[in-house]
Amino acid sequence: MLREQAMRSGNPPDSPKVLPLMVKINRVYTRTGDDGRTVLGDGARHPKFHIRVAATGSVDEANAFIGWAARHVSERLRPILRRIQNDLFDIGADLCRPERTGLKVEPLRLQEAQVAWLEACIDEHNASLAPLTSFVLPGGSEGSSLLHIARTIVRRAEREITELAFQEPITPALIRYMNRLSDLLFVLARAENEGGARDVLWHPGAHGDPAPMPTG
């Protein structure tokens, strides 16, 4: 049973202890953040502008937009987005408990298998897309547009997690996951635009004024 819980929780199978599979939340407000600081999962208090807190917020924002996008994409993409949403909560749980040694309970950490799953999704869905001849302008269908918004937020989260990684240890898979996720969202946005047929492409300088600028 312990091995099964470890696998389901994302912890290594040989972990001596794992976090509970579910959490219980019975209060919406606690007043503990009224002084401009927030409490991490290990009890540490950080200012709300701390890069770890900012990264967690960006991950949450991306999750919200992915949930919105899931309501407007084709049925075949929804299970992918729902799985990503769950992974993003895993990332939030990982970020809220900084790396420490000698812990009695092993925190939930993002696994490389979750990164590998993203890469498999990218390969599968990119194979059916029309080849690109230019950069894609965000737009097209509503679902595609929302996926592009989520992609840009994921990029920001990746930058913030990378900044955090230059300051203190983090789970290595976090940066790789966010990088691959932005790629997958780009691919899925194209898939929603009829496999790229409805993509709006960038035409460099298309609206530049060819006439010389007035000098006086």
Domain limits, the chain: 51-95+111-200
Upper half-sphere CA count for residue 170 (Cβ side, 13 Å): 27
Using alpha carbons, list the distances in angstroms from residue 188 to 104, 142, 149: 41, 12, 12
For residue 163, give both structure tokens: 């900044």
For residue 40, give both structure tokens: 């991490």
pLDDT in tens, 42-68: 555 555 548 888 999 999 999 999 999
Using alpha carbons, list the distances in angstroms from residue 105 to 5, 34, 56, 118, 210: 13, 29, 22, 28, 66
Q: Which range, of 7-16, 51-60, 71-80, 184-193, averages the lowest pLDDT?
A: 7-16
Kindly indicate the confidence band of residue 96, based on its pLDDT and cuts at 50, 70 and 90: confident
CB distance 157 to 62 below 8 Å: yes
User: Does CATH number 1.20.1200.10 belong to domain 51-95+111-200?
Assistant: yes
3-7, 49-53, 71-75: which has the highest mean pLDDT? 71-75
Q: What is the pTM of this model?
A: 0.79
Instruction: Write down the pLDDT at residue 188.
Output: 97
CB distance 111 to 152 below 8 Å: no
For residue 94, give both structure tokens: 């990982």
Kindly indicate the confidence band of residue 165, based on its pLDDT and cuts at 50, 70 and 90: very high
